[in-house]
Amino acid sequence: MGVIGLGLMGSSIVTSLVISGHQVVALAPIAADLEQAPGYLRRHLERAQSLDITDRSVDYYMDRITLTESYQDLKKCALVLECVIEDRHIKAAVYDKIESQVAEKTIIGTNTSAIPISSLQQYLKYPRRFMGIHWAEPAYATRFLEITCGAETDTELAREVSVLAENWNKEPTLLQKDIRGFITNRLMYAIYREALSIQENDGVSLRDLDKAARYDMGSWIPLMGIFQRLDYMGTQTEMKTIRALMSKLSNRTNLPETMEDIVRDEYRGIHNGKGHFNYSPKECEKWKEAFSRFNRDMYFLSEKYAEFKPSKKEEIKS
Amino acid sequence: MGVIGLGLMGSSIVTSLVISGHQVVALAPIAADLEQAPGYLRRHLERAQSLDITDRSVDYYMDRITLTESYQDLKKCALVLECVIEDRHIKAAVYDKIESQVAEKTIIGTNTSAIPISSLQQYLKYPRRFMGIHWAEPAYATRFLEITCGAETDTELAREVSVLAENWNKEPTLLQKDIRGFITNRLMYAIYREALSIQENDGVSLRDLDKAARYDMGSWIPLMGIFQRLDYMGTQTEMKTIRALMSKLSNRTNLPETMEDIVRDEYRGIHNGKGHFNYSPKECEKWKEAFSRFNRDMYFLSEKYAEFKPSKKEEIKS
């Protein structure tokens, strides 16, 4: 496995791969990255160890990572992941260098969340082997992985990566078409659109909308997702209600005035203390720490309920 | 406190109120209910005890519940909750009988999830004191409670109930306007609309949509809700993306063909083994048991992170 770009995300992905049993070539495209990388990797590995998701010592794993600046070291990789900054020209240059070294059948993935896969694919000499492989943070302690095909991606290869990813302790999703915003973002944005309308038109506070999402939706979504939830509730009746209410849902295309203020005034949430809510510097720190702890709790909780999923043959016509 | 209707939900609400320290008048409008009620109540109380959310014995609580068929016993109640079946004529008759006994300032709530509050309100002699008080199941082991005003409800009274509900270990939401589908359903249906479109148009399986909801959204929604999530991510940038994508979200008003099949063929999910996925009778049972366990786990997890919420003064313009 090869990983290019060793920022926080890249080194977190290296950690996930190495603790899953792979040897990893970790390539720093800029010198500063190469300097920081050993520190980042050690910290991630120590954190993985504190989560009890590792079998061996930090040093053992460090030995299985080849830190390098040279693309030649990627030669034997079966899969190379690009995790450099969201700049299409920089990415294009990286793909050039990868393809000049690796075998024609080596799979190349990008961790981009901002640039459409089909549009990056045009920079590849062999575009069939290129796809989005999008991780959640921290890569070694989250179950989510989104695999996205571009227009020219070989979907069979995407399926292979999807199977491989199960060995990384992932629950990968496969998106055969390169839609704007990937899956989760689309679902999330649909909630936000509706929530913004309810807030603006129906006198419900942001705080109460958050409570509904957190304590109602949040009490079943991590176990069931959305369609299995309908099956739990009784499917037919629920589908009838959804059909009846669909035309009442928001189709808005603009943000409410108060949200435009947030955009204009550069509210960056816990990153500058101003957001939909306000946060003291201490609270900003507390939130970061809380999510890290919560993430750990949910990771193990999801393990406890891992058997509860539909088996391959049981999905109906979809 | 009075509760009318002692089916599974009604007796679960009685349990929540009695373990929160209230004396409860539990009224069975039909004889069969009165017979079953002691058994239901004991089972709920035992379950609450097994969750470690009770201070006293089952017998102690049973003694604080007045089981009755007579509306006269409601006389001294400060709050009466109607939990009878979803039939507006039956409910209207119940409201008549309540109002003939209780004081003018007694608050009357309905647990309906199907009939608009404003429309039920017309059956009341004093409509100001009437509102939706909608519980999640099981009432004593969930944090969610949705308070909904009808057109004539005194919002001050609704606020009082909201404060009171915090003593029941709830995180109540207050909906000042009686919108179709309440808060959570609206948010949920917005996700479903988008998910159904992605499934139909973009070649993503129901299974993968569920995975995205379960492992991505599910990993943060129980901690943050939706707006606090944006604050965690950086607010401004996220709002910009939402604005850009809003016009790309689904505005569909119909169900996909496969879902119409489900409605027509009476798929009732784990209740008859046929749904978006198929379930053996054993699997149907396993899902019920799993959700009950999961619900317990999430209830305690939410307690662990209870301090992480915006304080009253910190919400911006909404």
**Residue A148 lies in domain:** 2-180
Residues in chain A within 8 Å Cβ distance of B247: 253
B282 in contact with A at a CB cutoff of 8 Å? no
Mark whether B114 and B170 lie in a shared domain.
Answer: yes
Query: DSSP state, A28?
Result: -
From the CA of B128, how many Å to the nearest CA of chain A? 18
Interface residue A280 vs chain B (CB under 8 A): no
Distance of CA A34 to the CA centre of its chain: 24
Q: Which residue of A has its CA nearest to B226?
A: A210
The whole-angstrom separation of Cα A164 and Cα A155 is 14
A219: chain B residues, CB-CB within 8 Å: 136, 142-144, 222, 295, 298-299
> Which residues of A, range 216-275, sit inside 8 Å of B by Cβ?
216-228, 230-237, 239-243, 245-255, 258-259, 261-263, 266-271, 274-275
B109 and B157: one domain? yes
Contact by Cβ (8 Å): B90, B84? yes
Q: Are B124 and B245 in the same domain?
A: no
Contacts of A184 in chain B (CB under 8 A): 212-213, 216-217
Residue B292 confidence (pLDDT): 87
Which one of B222, B225, B263 has the shortest CB-CB distance to A222? B222
Pair A53, A167 in one domain: yes
When computed from its CA atoms, the radius of gyration of chain A, rounded to whole angstroms, is 21
Measured CA to CA, the distance from residue B21 to residue B47 in angstroms comes to: 17
What is the structure's pLDDT at A137? 85
- State whether B219 and A143 contact (CB < 8 Å): yes
**CB-CB under 8 Å, B181 with A235:** no
- The token duo for A180 is 């704007």
What the block records as the tokens of A185 is 């973002």
For residue B38, what are the contacts with CB-CB under 8 A and spacing of at least 6?
Answer: B62, B67
Is the Cβ–Cβ distance between A117 and A93 less than 8 Å? no
Q: How many helices (H) and strands (E) does chain A have?
A: 13, 8
Question: Which stretches of chain A drop beneath a pLDDT of 70?
Answer: 181, 311-318
- Establish if A76 touches chain B: CB-CB under 8 angstroms: no
In terms of Cα–Cα distance, which of B113, B105, B60 is closest to B80? B105
Q: Are residues B169 and B40 in the same domain?
A: yes
Q: Is A177 on the interface with B (CB under 8 A)?
A: yes
> Is B132 buried (19+), middle (13-18) or exposed (0-12) by CB count in 10 A?
buried
Whether residues B24 and B172 fall in one domain: yes
Q: How many CB atoms lie within 10 A of CB B68?
A: 16
User: Mutual orientation of helices B236-246 and A182-202 as an angle, nearest 10°?
Assistant: 90
Chain B environment of A314 (Cβ under 8 Å)? 277-279
Do B192 and B161 share a domain, yes or no? no
With an 8 Å Cβ cutoff, are B269 and A235 in contact? yes
Nearest Cα of chain A lies from the Cα of B132 at a distance, in angstroms, of: 15
Provide the H-helix boundaries in B169-250: 182-202, 206-211, 221-224, 227-233, 236-246
Cβ-based burial of A258 (10 A; exposed 0-12, middle 13-18, buried ≥19): middle
- Which residue has tokens 């992941």? A81
CB B173 within 8 A of CB B49: no
Query: The domain that contains A60 carries what CATH number?
Result: 3.40.50.720
- Chain B residues whose beta carbon lies within 8 Å of the beta carbon of residue A266: 236
Do strands B107-110 and B144-149 pair parallel, antiparallel, or not at all (unpaired)? unpaired
For residue B229, being part of any structural domain is answered with yes
Residue A229 included in any domain: no
* Strand intervals (E) in chain A: 2-4, 24-27, 65-68, 79-82, 107-110, 130-135, 144-149, 171-175
pLDDT given for residue B318 in this prediction = 44
What is d(CA A99, CA A115) in angstroms, rounded to the nearest whole number? Answer: 20
User: Which residues between 40 and 69 in chain A have a beta carbon less than 8 angstroms from any beta carbon of chain B?
Assistant: none
The answer to whether residue B257 sits within a structural domain is no
For chain B, what is the domain count?
A: 3
Strand partners, B114: none
What pLDDT is stored for residue A11 in this prediction? 95
- Give the model's pLDDT for residue A201: 87
Asked, for residue A128, whether it belongs to a domain, the answer is yes
Query: How many A/B residue pairs have CB atoms within 8 Å?
Result: 439
Distance between A290 CA and the closest CA of chain B, angstroms? 8
Residue A87 is assigned to a structural domain of this protein: yes
**What integer pLDDT is reported at residue B276 of this predicted model?**
94
Contact (CB, 8 A) for A192 and A156: no
The two beta strands, B65-68 and B130-135, are: unpaired
ipTM for this prediction = 0.88
Tell if the CB–CB gap between A177 and B203 is shorter than 8 Å.
yes
Compute mean pLDDT per 10 residues along chain B, 318 residues long, and list them. 94 97 96 91 94 93 97 97 96 98 97 92 98 93 93 96 94 86 86 93 90 93 94 92 90 92 94 94 93 90 88 53
Q: Is residue B272 part of a domain?
A: yes
A2 DSSP β-pair partners: A25, A80
Torsion of CA B11, B17, B22, B27, to 10 degrees: -30
Give Cα A121 to chain centroid, integer Å.
Answer: 20
Q: Which residues of A299-318 are buried (b: 16+ CB within 10 A; e: fewer)?
A: bebbeebeebbbeeeebbeb
B315 falls within a domain: no
When scoring B115, B135, B179, B221 by the number of chain A Cβ atoms within 10 A, the one with the most, hence best to mutate, is B221
* A15 shares its domain with A158: yes
The residues facing B315 across adjacent strands are: A277
Query: Comparing C-alpha atoms, which of A63, A181, A37 is closest to residue B216?
Result: A181
Both A22 and A125 in one domain: the answer is yes
Say if A206 is an interface residue toward chain B (CB within 8 Å).
yes
Nearest to B180 among A176, A248, A308 (CB): A248
- Which among A180, A197, A223 is the end of a domain? A180
CATH, residue B228: 1.10.1040.10
> In terms of domains, do A15 and A125 share one?
yes
| Co-location of B216 and B303 in the same domain | no
* Buried/exposed code over B210-245 (b: 16+ C-beta within 10 A; e: otherwise): bbbbbbbbbbbbbbbbbbbbbbbbbbbebbebbbeb
Q: A142, A158, A180: which is the final residue of a domain?
A: A180
Contacts with A232 from chain B: Cβ below 8 Å: 269-270, 287, 291
- A227: in domain: no
Which residues have a Cβ under 8 Å from the Cβ of A112 and sit 6 or more positions away?
A: A86, A91, A120, A132, A134
Sequence letter at residue A211: K
Taking a contact as any Cβ pair under 8 Å apart, which residues of chain A between 286 and 305 contact chain B?
A: 286-287, 290-291, 294-295, 297-299, 301-302, 304-305
How near does any CA of chain A get to the CA of B68, in Å?
31
Chain B residue numbers touching A186 (CB-CB < 8 A): 194, 198, 245, 249
**pTM of the predicted model as reported, rounded to 2 decimal places:** 0.87
Beta carbons of A270 and B185 less than 8 Å apart: no
Contact A275 B230 (CB under 8 A): yes
- What is the least distance, in Å, from the CA of B47 to any CA of chain A? 18
Residues B164 and B189 in one domain: no
Based on the number of CB atoms within 10 Å of its own CB, is A194 exposed (0-12), middle (13-18) or buried (19 or more)? buried
Last residue of a domain, one of B137, B153, B180: B180
What is the side-by-side order of every strand in the sheet holding B130-135? B65-68, B24-27, B2-4, B79-82, B107-110, B130-135, B144-149, B171-175
B48 Cβ contact partners less than 8 Å away, ≥ 6 residues apart: B15, B19, B54, B140, B141
